[in-house]
Structure 1
Amino acid sequence: MMMNGNADDREHGLPQRQREILALIRDRGFVTIEALSEHFAVSDQTIRRDIIRLDGAGLLQRFHGGAGVRDQTVRLGYVEKQTIAPQDKERIGAAVAALVPDGASVFLDVGTTVEAVARALRGKRRLHVFTNSLSAGSLLAGRPGIDVFVTGGVVHGADGSLVGDAVIATLERCRLDLAVIGISGFDEDGAPMDFDMQKIGIKRVAMAAARRSVAVADAGKFARSAIVRIAPAGDFGLLVTDAEPPAPLGRAFERERLAVHVAGAEA
């Protein structure tokens, strides 16, 4: 929807609470609904209505569980990501785990959605898991029948990811059944995208080592872009998400022959 006028014009006449919500989000980049409801001592539903109005006016961007600055390339921090759509991510994790047979060799990428996959894999047997995520590795460590191989490398950022030549060297020696890849957004032609060049290089090597690659993303990623394309959409055999993609993106996936599995849709 095209918005007429500048932001100052659209903000004129907003209630005081909505102006303060905008100020908080512009200061922090992203704020959860829970944090806003506590800050203003109102219900979550009241905050949701405020966010819907502000999003409709083009003043902020709604996400699952909160709102952020209206920039499709906004990069959220790890703590903020943990608060977004946790139940949806758990459904995605369960759907991916259902695709993994006992005895498989699997690469787990970094990120909160992939961590949900790791939690869902804890009931598997004779599983061989390779990961550059300290968080994913710790979720599976010590589970009966699951061998966890954490790559070497340098710890990079708050998400516990490992990067560097040691990660690449380890994955280049692997022959994997499945690579589970986290993403930050999509290009217009459906290509999954991310922000961090070091992590993107690792994703590509893992995909090359795997017989099949699966992208995982909650529906909030459909409205977002990032900086760098990971690979063409068709290089992924499957996207597992929690809602149907918007029609234009869905058509792009069809053109690229990327299958989409909506977690929980069969229930």
Structure 2
Amino acid sequence: MSARGAASPKPAALTRRQRSVLAAVQELGFVTIDGLAREFEVSSQTIRRDIIKLQQANYLHRFHGGAGLTDGTFRPGYAQKLTTAPAGKERIGRAVAEMIPDGASVYLDVGTTVEAVARALLSKMTLRIITCSVSVAMIFCSHGKFDVFVTGGSVRGANGSLVGGVTTESLKMFRVDYAVIGFGGFDDDGAPMDFDLEKIAVRQVALAHSRHGIAVADASKFGKAGVARVAPLSAFHALVTDNEPPKPLRRLFDTAGVRCVVA
């Protein structure tokens, strides 16, 4: 049974439009039914049915005339993330830094947990950094220690995430030793999940062009799900977190041969 309950639809059951509605709520915090109806060129009743379905799946909360974020399901805004488990994220960052040797090439994803990894990597002597995060790049640029390559692409969100075809094509030029990937929750089989399909596409390319995939997530992600899968567990060599996962989730990691590091 799904952790969201038997009545909740699987993410794969959502239509393209419903996924786009989720992305809009995630980006804006609140959307109106009339505005969505105009954007997707459908009736208000059609959008209302979409929102009702998404609310039943606990992806968002329906309000009069629109929909907004619901606590515990959607990822919080970037400013809120900065205050979520900061000590745990710093421990995760140090643990990942211990796994990466001097001289390695490293892809760093977006997000506050990955930013903690970036700060911890400043202790290294030499690294080659590839990132799609403006925020991550600035951490390194302010110290001038490493070679840093920032992908092109369209800027998405307050954390300076770069997405789109330019981003994915840029990543295909590289073959990195380690890819450090953030995410927002877990599927029933333990696979990492997230909400933004464009960011997921970037992560998938990065994993495909890396020798070792390292997933990073603080304990607030346990028991949560996303809209779509980032990759199967088999795509990762390790998951680094700040607290012991629930036993069912830990068993999934063990079965998949994924090393679980509790920082």
Q: Same fold (TM over 0.5)?
A: yes
Structure number with bigger Rg: 1
Q: Indicate the residue corresponding to 1:258 in structure 2.
A: 258
Does the CA-based 8 Å contact 1:124-1:146 persist in structure 2?
A: no
For 1:16, the equivalent position in structure 2 comes to none
The residue identity in structure 2 corresponding to 1:151 is T
Residue deviations 1:93-129 (CA, integer Å, cap 9, x gap): 0000111111110000000000000000112122100
| Over 2 Å off, 4+ runs | 68-71, 142-145
SS in structure 2 at match of 1:261: strand
Instruction: Report the residue type matching 2:109 in the other structure.
Output: D
List aligned pairs for 1:1-267, cutoff 5 A.
69=70, 71=72, 73-263=73-263
TM-score scaled to structure 2, two decimals? 0.72
Q: How far off is 1:74 after superposition?
A: 2.2
3-state SS in 2 of match to 1:200: helix
Q: Which segments of 5 or more consecutive residues in structure 2 lack a partner in the other structure?
A: 1-28, 31-68
How far apart, CA to CA, are the structure 2 residues paired with 1:227 and 1:76? 15
Identity over aligned pairs, percent? 53
State whether residues 183 and 194 of structure 1, in contact with CA within 8 Å, keep that contact through their aligned partners in structure 2. yes
The 2-side partners of 1:261 and 1:82 are apart by 22
CA deviation profile, 1:68-88 (whole Å, cap 9, x unmatched) = 9555x3231111111100010
Q: RMSD value over aligned CA atoms? A: 1.6
Amino acid of the residue matched to residue 152 of structure 1?
G
Please say if residues 192 and 231 of structure 1, whose CA atoms lie closer than 8 Å, have aligned partners that are also in contact. yes
Deviation (angstroms), 1:142: 4.5
**Counterpart AA for 1:213:** G
Letter in 2 for 1:248: P
Q: Please state whether the residue corresponding to 2:149 is helix, strand or coil.
A: strand
Q: Secondary structure at the match of 1:189?
A: coil
**1:43 matched to which residue of 2?**
none
Amino acid at match of 2:192: P
Q: Give SS of 2:234's match.
A: helix
For 1:216, the aligned partner's letter is V
Q: Aligned-pair distance for 1:137?
A: 0.3
Matching residue's letter, 2:122: R
Distance change (3 Å), C-alpha of 1:109 and 1:125: same
CA–CA distance in structure 1, aligned partners of residues 122 and 252 of structure 2:
34
Q: TM-score, normalised by structure 1?
A: 0.71
Distance 2:244 2:256 in 1: 16
Q: Say if 1:125 and 1:144, in contact at 8 Å, map to a contact too.
A: no
CA distance in 1 between partners of 2:71 and 2:150 (Å): 37
